[in-house]
Structure 1
Amino acid sequence: MTRRTTWLGLRALVGLALLAAPAWVLATAGGAVPHQHWTLGALLAVSALAGVALLVATALAWRRDRRRATAPPATPSTSTSSADTPRSGVTGASAPSPDAEPAARPEPARPRGRRVLRATGAGVGLALLAVLAAATAWLRPFPATDAALDALRGDDAVEVRESAGWYAFVPRDAEPTTGLVYSPGARVDVRATAAVLRPLAEAGYLVVALKEPLGIALTSPGQSASAMAAFDGVERWAVGGHSLGGVAASSFAAAHDDEVDGLLLHASYPLGDMVDADLVVASVSGSEDGLTTPADVDASRADLPAATTFTQVDGAVHAFFADYGPQPGDGTPTVPREEARAEIVAASLALLDEVAAG
Structure 2
Amino acid sequence: MITPTWLRAATLVVAAAALVVVAWACATAWGAVVHCHPAYAVLLVLTLAGAVVAGVRTLRRRPARPGWRRVLRVVLLVLGAAWVVLLAWLRPFGAVEPALAAMRSDDAVTVTEGAARYVLAPADGGDGTAVFFQPGARVDARAYAAVLRPLAEAGHTVVVAKQPLGIAFLAMGAFDDARDAMPGTERWVVGGHSLGGTVAAMEADAADGDAAAPAAGLLLFASYPASDMSGTLTAAVASVSASEDGLATPAKIDASRADLPADTSFTVVEGGVHAFFGDYGPQPGDGTPTISHDDAREQISAAAVAFVDGLAR
Which TM-score band applies after superposition, normalised by the shorter structure? over 0.9
Q: What letter matches 2:199 in structure 1? A: A
Q: Among 202, 225, 231, which residue is 2:176 paired with?
A: 225
Q: Among 330, 335, 339, which residue is 2:286 paired with?
A: 330
1:145 aligns with 2:96: yes
8 Å CA contact 1:190, 1:211 repeated in 2: yes
| 1:123-158 CA distance string (max 9 Å, x none) | 221111112111111111111112111111111000
| 1:262-292 CA distance string (max 9 Å, x none) | 1100000101111121111000000000111
Q: What letter matches 1:10 in structure 2? A: A
Q: What letter matches 1:22 in structure 2? A: V
1:251-262 equivalent positions in 2, closer than 5 A = 251-258=202-209, 259-262=214-217
8 Å CA contact 2:242, 2:273 repeated in 1: yes
Name the SS for the 2:132 alignment partner. Answer: strand
| 1:289-341 CA distance string (max 9 Å, x none) | 01110011011111111111010000000010001111111111101111111
What is residue 154 of structure 1 aligned with on the other side?
A: 105
1:74-85 equivalent positions in 2, closer than 5 A = none
Shift of 1:172: 1.0
What is residue 93 of structure 1 aligned with on the other side?
A: none
8 Å CA contact 1:287, 1:313 repeated in 2: yes
What is residue 42 of structure 2 aligned with on the other side?
A: 42
* Whole-angstrom distance in 2 between the partners of 1:280 and 1:26: 41
Name the SS for the 2:133 alignment partner. Answer: strand
Gaps spanning 5+ residues in structure 2: where?
Answer: none
What is residue 347 of structure 1 aligned with on the other side?
A: 303
Q: What letter matches 1:317 in structure 2? A: V
* Whole-angstrom distance in 2 between the partners of 1:174 and 1:213: 29
* Whole-angstrom distance in 2 between the partners of 1:255 and 1:301: 20
Q: Among 206, 227, 230, which residue is 2:157 paired with?
A: 206
| 1:68-103 CA distance string (max 9 Å, x none) | xxxxxxxxxxxxxxxxxxxxxxxxxxxxxxxxxxxx
What is residue 318 of structure 1 aligned with on the other side?
A: 274
Structure 1 vs Structure 2 CA RMSD: 1.6
Q: Among 223, 235, 252, which residue is 1:268 paired with?
A: 223
What is residue 86 of structure 1 aligned with on the other side?
A: none
What is residue 51 of structure 2 aligned with on the other side?
A: 51
What is residue 32 of structure 2 aligned with on the other side?
A: 32
Shift of 1:64: 5.0
Q: Among 254, 259, 281, which residue is 1:298 paired with?
A: 254
1:136 aligns with 2:91: no
* Whole-angstrom distance in 1 between the partners of 2:266 and 2:123: 31
Identity %: 50
Q: What letter matches 1:231 in structure 2? A: M
Q: What letter matches 1:144 in structure 2? A: A
Q: What letter matches 2:69 in structure 1? A: R
Name the SS for the 1:265 alignment partner. Answer: strand
* Whole-angstrom distance in 2 between the partners of 1:236 and 1:4: 64
* Whole-angstrom distance in 2 between the partners of 1:240 and 1:178: 13
* Whole-angstrom distance in 2 between the partners of 1:220 and 1:210: 8
Q: What letter matches 1:281 in structure 2? A: V
Provide the TM-score with structure 2 as the length reference: 0.94
Q: What letter matches 1:23 in structure 2? A: A
Gaps spanning 5+ residues in structure 1: where?
Answer: 66-108
Provide the TM-score with structure 1 as the length reference: 0.83
| Structure (1 or 2) with the larger CA radius of gyration | 1
- The count of residues paired between Structure 1 and Structure 2 equals 307
* Whole-angstrom distance in 1 between the partners of 2:152 and 2:33: 25
8 Å CA contact 1:176, 1:233 repeated in 2: no
Shift of 1:227: 1.1
8 Å CA contact 1:181, 1:228 repeated in 2: no
* Whole-angstrom distance in 1 between the partners of 2:276 and 2:136: 12
Q: What letter matches 2:33 in structure 1? A: V
What is residue 245 of structure 1 aligned with on the other side?
A: 196
* Whole-angstrom distance in 2 between the partners of 1:243 and 1:120: 42
* Whole-angstrom distance in 2 between the partners of 1:53 and 1:306: 58
Shift of 1:218: 1.1
What is residue 10 of structure 1 aligned with on the other side?
A: 10
1:21 aligns with 2:2: no
Shift of 1:169: 0.3
* Whole-angstrom distance in 1 between the partners of 2:82 and 2:95: 27
Q: What letter matches 2:282 in structure 1? A: P
